[in-house]
Amino acid sequence: MIEFMNQLFHISCIMAVIAAVYILAGALASGKYFAGDFYCAGKMILIGFIIPFRPRIKIFFPMGSTSILCSEGTGSLQNVFAALAEKTGGDGTVFIPAPAAAVSPVMIVFFIWLFGFFVVLFYHVMKYVSFKRMVERWSGDIADARILEAFREIKNQLGITSYLQIRKCACISSPMLIQLLKPAILLTDAQMAREDLLLVLRHEMIHLKRKDLWYRWALLLAVAINWFNPTVYAFSRAFTCFCELSCDELVTENMPEAGRYRYSMIIIHLAGYKAKSNTLFSSFSCGGKKYMKNRLFSIMSTGKKRLGTAVFAICFLSIFCAGMVFAAPGNERGTVDIPAERTVNAYGIKTNEDIDREMTEAFSEVFGNEFDKNNFPGMIITYDESGVPIVTDPDAPQKSAVYAGGKYEINGFYSSSDCSDSSLVFYVLKGRPVEVLDSSSSTTAAKVKYAGSGGYMKKDELKF
């Protein structure tokens, strides 16, 4: 969770800088470069906002010196060692108090972000669902042969063979393309000449062919993920505007000045209607007066425009390098010599070697092999057929200790950890609780205590 939040905020901040440069470059290059190039660059930035992860590429720089000389800093290290010594037990293990049961600040930030994510997403989805219901209620099929003929003509010209509907809706103020899986073009109730209708239909079908609706939904996802970043909202407006400008370029490509003028008048005419229920899917109502002025200027401009290849390349490199990590190589980093007596495991974590050494020492203890019933006061002592004593403890065991029960009818209690026949002291009956003092996965015996005596029992004869 910590890594995810760090990546999210880190990448979001970097993308905010890239998006700000993108918006500024788009404003300065208005009418001088193809809007389609800026739209493609915007798609890359959009993906950068959605995916908060980047490949980590380590670039190593030599540090020059391979060691750090500690003069004044040595005192600081000694203070650290002294502080560790104060909390160190006799065996050299540092005792670290258990953390208090409290909610992590990172967890609080995560849930705040998650709440904002769902709120933004829920708001836009419900707004679209409400709009879609209204469209279904107030829209109807088109029976006008003139409109249907123009629809089929543009569809054939653009080579669109996929499913596409055309409907009229009284609750919208400008034409639009809606629905991802079953797309439909919605026209207003306004009457349009055939030439105007052809231009409007071409505009909407170009949106369909470029799959612009998918990018609009991806834009909503980017805004929801980065809802805390104010730059993403400015980028959303700029990206939507470049989407429309690039679509206008394709509609008016190789079009004479008269055709461009006619297309501009359609946009002005539709923009003059009072907005009813337009959403982000409306194609002719994006932006305010300044945007409309730039859009008309771009449509009427017949001068030669330059390719925005540099913008595209800069965006790609910036986004790709956003997660790059600069580090010095491990064998050339500065090192500090730590005194040998202070290289104890400072965090109380034992290695496998430490555990094996401790277990070897614990299991090297040998107990007395002579059985004397006087050493077992209060115990019930019986004997098997071969004369080996069987000791039964009638008292209930302490609940705080770790106990195991005998698995078989009689289970051997030995004085040596090898559990050889010569070290057998007595038997323990099945199910009788035996206190386990020490056990390890590397040993076949467990160090136990039973009836007040210490010894060993085979682990396969114990039921834990």
**Reported confidence tier of residue 306, pLDDT bands at 50, 70, 90:** low
- CA 255 to mean position of chain CA atoms: 48
Q: Which string of b and e fits 430-456 if b means at least 16 CB within 10 Å? A: eebbbbbebbbeebebbbbebbebebb
Backbone torsions φ then ψ of 455, nearest 5 degrees? 180, -160
- Residue 321: its pLDDT value, please? 60
In residues, how long is the chain? 464
Q: Is the pLDDT of residue 325 over 50?
A: no
Nearest to 188 by CA among 207, 164, 171, 166: 171
The residue among 211, 253, 8 whose CA lies nearest residue 109 is 8
Cβ(54)–Cβ(309) below 8 Å: no
Enumerate residues 6+ apart whose C-beta is below 8 A from 279.
127, 128, 131, 176
Query: Would you state the pLDDT for residue 384?
Result: 79
Radius of gyration of the chain from Cα atoms? 40
What is the per-residue pLDDT across 162-172, written as a single tens digit (0 to 9) for each? 889 999 888 88
- Lowest-confidence pick of 82-96, 249-263, 359-373, 435-449: 82-96
CA triplet 166, 168, 169: central angle to 5 degrees? 130
Instruction: Give the per-residue pLDDT at 31.
Output: 62
The answer to whether 37 and 311 have CB atoms below 8 angstroms apart is yes
Hey, what are 121's tokens?
Answer: 């997403």
Strand locations in 194-336 (E): 325-327
**Cα 289 from Cα 37, distance rounded (Å):** 24
Q: Which residue has the higher pLDDT, 68 or 117?
A: 117
pLDDT at 70 over 60: no
Which pLDDT does position 119 carry in this prediction? 95
What is the DSSP secondary structure assignment for residue 21, as one 8-state letter?
Answer: H
Q: Model confidence over 339-376: pLDDT tens digits?
A: 444 444 444 555 667 666 777 777 777 777 777 777 77
Neighbours of 351 (CB within 10 A): 9
Each as own residue / partner, the long-range contacts of residues 449-454 (CB below 8 Å, 24 or more positions apart, any chain) are: 450/391, 450/393, 450/413, 451/376, 451/379, 451/391, 451/393, 452/375, 452/376, 453/367, 453/375, 453/376, 453/413, 453/425, 454/365, 454/367
Place of tokens 């030599």: 62
Burial state string for 216-231 with b = 16 or more CB within 10 A and e = fewer than 16: bebbbbbbbbbbebeb
Q: What's the pTM?
A: 0.59
Return the pLDDT at 339.
47
Q: At 102, phi and psi to the nearest 5?
A: -140, 160
pLDDT of residue 29: 72
Q: What is the pLDDT of residue 288?
A: 67
Instruction: Indicate the pLDDT class of residue 316, thresholds 50, 70 and 90.
Output: low
Between CA 26 and CA 41 the distance in angstroms is 11
**How far apart are alpha carbons 313 and 135 in whole angstroms?**
41
The pair phi, psi for residue 236, each rounded to 5°, is: -60, -45
Tell me which of 46-50, 285-289, 403-407, 436-440 is least confident.
285-289
Helix (H) or strand (E) holding 313: helix 309-320
Q: Considering the chain, what percentage of its residues have pLDDT values greater than 90?
A: 14
Least confident window among 16-25, 101-110, 143-152, 283-292: 283-292
Look-up of token digits 């769902």: 118
Q: What is the mean pLDDT of residues 130-158?
A: 89
Range with lowest mean pLDDT among 59-73, 77-91, 106-120, 248-262: 59-73
Model confidence over 265-279: pLDDT tens digits?
888 887 765 555 545
DSSP letter, residue 307: P
Q: What pLDDT is recorded for position 102?
A: 58
Name the residue with tokens 């403890």: 393
- The pLDDT tens digits for 178-228 are 888 889 999 888 788 888 899 999 999 999 999 999 999 999 999 999 999
**Strands 433-438 and 403-406, bridge-based pairing:** antiparallel
pLDDT value at residue 69: 43
Name which residue leads in pLDDT, 380 or 132: 132
* Residue found by looking up tokens 């199910």 in the block: 431
pLDDT of residue 373: 78
Cα separation, 38 vs 182, in Å, equals: 28
